[in-house]
Chain A
Amino acid sequence: MSDSNQNRQQIIRIVFLLAGAFLLLRAADLQLLDDTYHNKSTAIAVGKYTLYPSRGLIYDRNGKLLTNNNPVYDVMVTYNQVDAGMDSLKLADILGLKMPDFRKRLNKDFRNYRYSKSKPFVFVSTVSAQTAALLQESLYEFPGFFVQTRNVRGYPHRNAAHVLGYIREVTPKEVKELDYRPGDYIGGSGLELEYEKELRGVQGSRFVLKDNLGREVSPYKDGENDTLAVSGKDLISSIDIELQKYGEELMQNKTGSIVAIEPATGEILAMISAPTYNPNLMTINRERGKFYNALLVDSLKPLFNRAVMAKYPPGSIFKSVIGLIGIQLGVVNPYVGMSCPGYYSYNSVRVGCRNHPYPADMGVALKYSCNAYFIDAFRDIVEIESFYKPHIGLDTFDHYLYRFGLGNPLGIDFPQEQKGNVPTSEYYDKIYPRDKGSWKSPTIMSVGIGQGEMEMTGMQMANLAATIANRGHYYVPHLAKKFVDDDFLIDEKYRTPVRVGVEPINFVTVVDGMESVVASGTGRRGQVPEVRTAGKTGTVQNPHGEDHSTFIAFAPVDNPKIAISVYVENSGGGSRYAAPIAGLMMEKYLKGQISDSKKIVDKTMKETDLNGG
């Protein structure tokens, strides 16, 4: 038998030998030479300590601290380092646990991938500082257990809960989709959620070699894999905490919202949703679940942020918009009056009006909030093409409403902002099909007085006030001014004026009218002593109970520093609560205090309980 490849057997043997030698060298390297693993005989595992960055703080516009970081302590355990013979009773006693609970916490379902016998898991979360200190002293008796420190939020002011939002533990879904690990904290609402990325900071980690009792033997690879934690950035918000606090006091035992904006910048000075809650209740601790559930089931929905999420019919404050658009389109002459018989009727439809002097021009009509005048103006706009083509007029009207920031979210730097509602011709076409008589301007005339399908959020109302204060433009309202020690500029869109398409000159009569509303009209109770103020009241018919009271205003008239919207549910006419509250807020902001002549109003407002509690 011929075998010409005999010589290849040697090559195969050499390859075998070389591979074996290679393995042997590597084994010698690991077992004899490598000093990566100091104290080899005792180390059993590389442990990873997560270094939690401190979360960025939040300040108000004047540098007052709104949130701070308080340490909490989690007791961690690594199952297979636990000494079965330890004094479990003592440990349970320190931690305030009963034995069955103690055993349940220790014996997790290790078939579940979330738990491993050799990796630490949370045994008891958020124990008090005293408990943690007590445990630290006797920790050596309980191998496998250790205490991990983390920071949770505390709130020195107890105010602005909705603005700040809360932090919570991440959900399994977030762990899967975002760069978080189980047990990490994340912003759950408000600014904490909006600016999570900036506030969070970057986690660091430290790797150590551990022995079988979980004790640190030495750094792993001299710390070459370690990374430092980078603290989150501190946020300076636009909120004025004193104003916010005062607003919350005024709104106590009432339901509704206040939003105050600095017209020249769009910065939100105060954003109040009533009823509110103490943010310290939502800080992460062992009582939190209880408070959270109580807030969830409260019939007044304190967790619902009415300032940006509640959609309200604007009522008569909407007349200012109708006037402005009418003038801009040239269909309404603001200097021509219209007689008001005390109602407005078309065929059988009749809308009542108050008994008031003759509206000689638009200013007077605003002053007395004449329904007939503005329904007529609205109909003129809708009939701009012809009576029979109302959709052209309404589309034109809507075009301006969208530019005013209505019907769409404004795009504020805050989660869950609602868009309100603008009545559209598509919508009416659906309800009143064209083949069945269609719809005409009288069909929808209730829009002319801010009722019907028209809906706005408190934020949009305040932004309307700011737009009028600026005579034709606004800055998208926002809550962030800047981040400390950082050249971070707020987004371009918050620094660019948005023009609403109504010429500044066309604001003159409307602003004059609004000034007379406060000086001697329906909004007298919203006056700010010695400051020229413009405003507009609204009373929103409420088929379910008392009417809602609303008021938008800005002051001073010539150089506006503050624009505001107040909405008080179930409180009757706009002049009764909304106007005085707005007046007090503006005075507080402009003067820093309430003048003596207003003290009695201040007291009445604070003490009024509209929630029947």
Chain B
Amino acid sequence: MRERPGKSADVFTLSLYLCLMAIGWSMLYSVGYNGGGYQVGITEFLTKTQAGKQTIWVLISLVVFFFTQIIDRKFWQTFAYPIYGFAMLLLIAVLIVGKEIKGATSWFAFGGFSIQPSEFAKFATCLATAAYLSRINVNLKYINAQAIAFGMILLPAALILLQPDAGSALIFFSFLVLFYREGFPANFFILGGSAVLFLILGIMFVEAPLKVVWAILILGNLVLLLNFPNKLYGGLAFAALLITSWLARGEEWANIIPLVIAAATAFLIAGILMLTRLKKKNRVFGIMSSAVLFASALVYLSAFSFDNFLRPHQQARINVWLNPADVDPQGAGYNLNQSKLAISSGGLEGQGFLKGNMTQLDYVPEQTTDFIFTAIGEEQGFIGSLSIIVFFLLLLHRITVIAERQRSAFVRCYAYGVAGILFLHFVVNIGMTMGLMPIIGIPLPFISKGGSALLGFSLMIGVLLKMDRHRTET
């Protein structure tokens, strides 16, 4: 049966897609310009320079995009699991026959080009999880559905971790956005988010985890006292605790141990009062004391693991992110430092296309891939940064709108999968160039150099738009 032609593709999404790709290509052109220009013929430009190679990848991606528009939309849903299986086989195969670049066996090499199967695996996992979650009998409130859903994203993540490519493996956690949308219990996100927060705090205060414990106790006190029937007494008691803490603080928090003891005592007294006087509020104290213990344990676990289990170069990599003052600006901190300097030197208006000092003189390491945002920051300034960030937000918002207007649960799930993947890439990549996120090598979608990634993202957008064109059909 021939498919009906459907509506035209979502113009808004399509133009953002093309626009981001064009911006990416011109930034790559600028990085490769090196202040002097391209003194090569057209053939050499296309085969030897990074902007030239990217030109070819852009063309290939457009062809792929075109094919997604003529392939039957049902194909993807019908073959979601086989495609996923094929992707997993590729991930296994790359471990065996793949080519090692910079210590990771992540590539299949064909002549001058190489392909990264992990990019394709993102798309395939998107299809498969969507297919699974859209089944009528699957409910993410239940443990078996949760286990299977997690299994589907952890399998590719684990295979990619073997390459090893921690950055790409981490990306599979972006499916949490989809899981959340499809009803995964919110408590899980609250607990997980807090756990990550305390682990990070443990490393930031690795010299004195007690400071964090003190802060946790103060918060615990606050919650307990807010649950007192007489808010005035509770408030006063809490204020007294804060003031004494502040007075006893001393130089460089040298008195942290008595402070922690004071806060813990106050916490216990409040708890005992609650248990004896207000029988009904028992649960609050129970929950809060578990929370305080759990959080403190996490902080200590994280500080201890950081000191004892991580090797110096791993510590350095984390310190670049969380404790930048401890890092040699010319050693472990060099990349991030150059990145921040480049972005910062753009100012409001930027230094102009092909005119960024650091970009043109090749002063930012990995600038075509992980640090492509620095070229935008330096040459286009804050206006450029703002535009890119807004473009991405618009694209992400538009995808959620597309998702929500579907009749098919499969397409909605697929759209949220795509949104999650794009979102995590966008936040982590731009965040890491400015020191907000740890430096893990993942590309900025549509912008960074790299054929596999561009192809993968084009496939995702193309399939999404194709399915959206037929949203009114069943």
A201–B101 Cα distance when bound, in Å, is: 41
Partner of A8, one of B181, B330, B351, B362: B181
Contact between chains at B393 and A37 (CB < 8 Å): no
A207–B338 Cα distance when bound, in Å, is: 13
Indicate whether B238 reaches chain A with its CB closer than 8 angstroms: no
Chain A interface residue count: which class? Answer: 35 or more
Indicate whether A600 reaches chain B with its CB closer than 8 angstroms: no
Indicate whether B21 reaches chain A with its CB closer than 8 angstroms: no
Contact between chains at B348 and A32 (CB < 8 Å): yes
A4–B455 Cα distance when bound, in Å, is: 35
Partner of B377, one of A12, A20, A31: A31
Indicate whether B183 reaches chain A with its CB closer than 8 angstroms: yes
Query: Given A30-B434, A46-B330, is A40 in contact with B363 using a C-beta cutoff of 8 Å?
Result: no
Chain A residues whose C-beta falls within 8 Å of the C-beta of B404 in the assembled complex: 6, 9
Q: Which residue of chain A is the closest to B408 with respect to CB atoms?
A: A1
Contact between chains at A220 and B344 (CB < 8 Å): no
Taking CB atoms and an 8 Å cut-off, the chain B residues in 394-453 that contact chain A are 396-397, 400, 403-404, 407, 409, 416, 419, 423, 427, 430-431, 434-436
Partner of B362, one of A17, A34, A36, A117: A117
Taking CB atoms and an 8 Å cut-off, the chain A residues in 11-67 that contact chain B are 11-13, 16-17, 19-20, 22-24, 26-28, 30-32, 34, 36-37, 40-46, 48
Chain B residues whose C-beta falls within 8 Å of the C-beta of A209 in the assembled complex: 341
Contact between chains at B382 and A27 (CB < 8 Å): yes
Contact between chains at A20 and B343 (CB < 8 Å): no
Contact between chains at A41 and B351 (CB < 8 Å): yes
Contact between chains at A16 and B396 (CB < 8 Å): yes
Indicate whether A118 reaches chain B with its CB closer than 8 angstroms: yes
Contact between chains at A20 and B392 (CB < 8 Å): yes
Chain A residues whose C-beta falls within 8 Å of the C-beta of B390 in the assembled complex: 20
Indicate whether B167 reaches chain A with its CB closer than 8 angstroms: no
Nearest CB of chain B from residue A121's CB, rounded to whole Å: 14
Of A1, A9, A17, A20, the most chain B CB neighbours within 10 A belong to A20
Indicate whether A136 reaches chain B with its CB closer than 8 angstroms: no
Indicate whether A80 reaches chain B with its CB closer than 8 angstroms: yes
Indicate whether A225 reaches chain B with its CB closer than 8 angstroms: yes
Query: Given A40-B344, A80-B361, is A20 in contact with B330 using a C-beta cutoff of 8 Å?
Result: no
Indicate whether A231 reaches chain B with its CB closer than 8 angstroms: no
Contact between chains at A9 and B400 (CB < 8 Å): yes
Indicate whether A425 reaches chain B with its CB closer than 8 angstroms: no
Partner of A27, one of B337, B389, B416: B389
Query: Given A8-B180, A207-B329, is A34 in contact with B344 using a C-beta cutoff of 8 Å?
Result: yes
Q: Which residue of chain B is the closest to A8 with respect to CB atoms?
A: B181
Indicate whether B53 reaches chain A with its CB closer than 8 angstroms: no
A427–B20 Cα distance when bound, in Å, is: 84
Q: Which residue of chain B is the closest to A117 with respect to CB atoms?
A: B362
A220–B346 Cα distance when bound, in Å, is: 17
Chain B residues whose C-beta falls within 8 Å of the C-beta of A22 in the assembled complex: 431, 436
Nearest CB of chain A from residue B375's CB, rounded to whole Å: 13
Contact between chains at A27 and B385 (CB < 8 Å): yes
Partner of B329, one of A1, A5, A13, A46: A46
Chain B residues whose C-beta falls within 8 Å of the C-beta of A4 in the assembled complex: 183
A16–B426 Cα distance when bound, in Å, is: 10
Indicate whether A212 reaches chain B with its CB closer than 8 angstroms: yes
Of B177, B183, B341, B390, the most chain A CB neighbours within 10 A belong to B341
Chain B interface residue count: which class? Answer: 35 or more
Contact between chains at B427 and A46 (CB < 8 Å): no
Chain A residues whose C-beta falls within 8 Å of the C-beta of B330 in the assembled complex: 46, 48, 207
Nearest CB of chain A from residue B23's CB, rounded to whole Å: 16
Partner of A37, one of B344, B416, B423: B344
Chain B residues whose C-beta falls within 8 Å of the C-beta of A19 in the assembled complex: 423, 427
Contact between chains at B377 and A27 (CB < 8 Å): yes
Query: Given A44-B357, A46-B337, is A31 in contact with B430 using a C-beta cutoff of 8 Å?
Result: no
Contact with B along A177-216 (1 / 0, CB 8 A): 0000000000000000000000000000001010110000
Chain B residues whose C-beta falls within 8 Å of the C-beta of A36 in the assembled complex: 344
Contact between chains at A212 and B361 (CB < 8 Å): yes
Nearest CB of chain A from residue B348's CB, rounded to whole Å: 6
Indicate whether B206 reaches chain A with its CB closer than 8 angstroms: no
Contact between chains at B347 and A12 (CB < 8 Å): no
Indicate whether B340 reaches chain A with its CB closer than 8 angstroms: yes
Partner of B393, one of A6, A16, A220: A16
A19–B338 Cα distance when bound, in Å, is: 24
Partner of B363, one of A32, A37, A44, A48: A44
A32–B361 Cα distance when bound, in Å, is: 23
Chain A residues whose C-beta falls within 8 Å of the C-beta of B347 in the assembled complex: 31-32, 40-41
Chain B residues whose C-beta falls within 8 Å of the C-beta of A37 in the assembled complex: 341, 344-345
Query: Given A23-B427, A31-B377, A212-B357, is A43 in contact with B386 using a C-beta cutoff of 8 Å?
Result: no
Indicate whether B370 reaches chain A with its CB closer than 8 angstroms: no
Chain B residues whose C-beta falls within 8 Å of the C-beta of A45 in the assembled complex: 338, 341, 358, 363
Chain B residues whose C-beta falls within 8 Å of the C-beta of A117 in the assembled complex: 362
Of B389, B392, B403, the most chain A CB neighbours within 10 A belong to B389
Q: Which residue of chain A is the closest to B435 with respect to CB atoms?
A: A26
Contact between chains at A41 and B357 (CB < 8 Å): yes
Contact between chains at B397 and A16 (CB < 8 Å): yes
Contact between chains at A17 and B358 (CB < 8 Å): no
Indicate whether B381 reaches chain A with its CB closer than 8 angstroms: yes
Query: Given A16-B396, A19-B427, A37-B345, is A31 in contact with B385 using a C-beta cutoff of 8 Å?
Result: yes
Contact between chains at B361 and A24 (CB < 8 Å): no
Contact between chains at B361 and A48 (CB < 8 Å): no
A365–B439 Cα distance when bound, in Å, is: 83
Chain A residues whose C-beta falls within 8 Å of the C-beta of B396 in the assembled complex: 16
Query: Given A9-B404, A45-B338, A220-B329, is A30 in contact with B344 using a C-beta cutoff of 8 Å?
Result: yes
Q: Which residue of chain A is the closest to B182 with respect to CB atoms?
A: A5
Chain B residues whose C-beta falls within 8 Å of the C-beta of A8 in the assembled complex: 180-181, 183
A518–B183 Cα distance when bound, in Å, is: 106
A48–B404 Cα distance when bound, in Å, is: 54
Contact with A along B173-192 (1 / 0, CB 8 A): 00001001111000000000
Of the A-B pairs whose beta carbons lie under 8 Å apart in the complex, a sample of 9, sorted by A's number, is A12-B180, A12-B181, A16-B397, A26-B434, A27-B377, A30-B377, A31-B382, A41-B351, A43-B357
Extra A-B contacts (11), CB below 8 Å, given A44-B345, A225-B329: A9-B181, A9-B404, A17-B397, A24-B385, A30-B344, A31-B382, A40-B345, A43-B357, A44-B341, A80-B361, A80-B363
Which 8 A-B pairs give the minimum distances between C-beta atoms? A27-B385, A40-B345, A31-B382, A20-B393, A48-B330, A30-B344, A5-B183, A44-B358
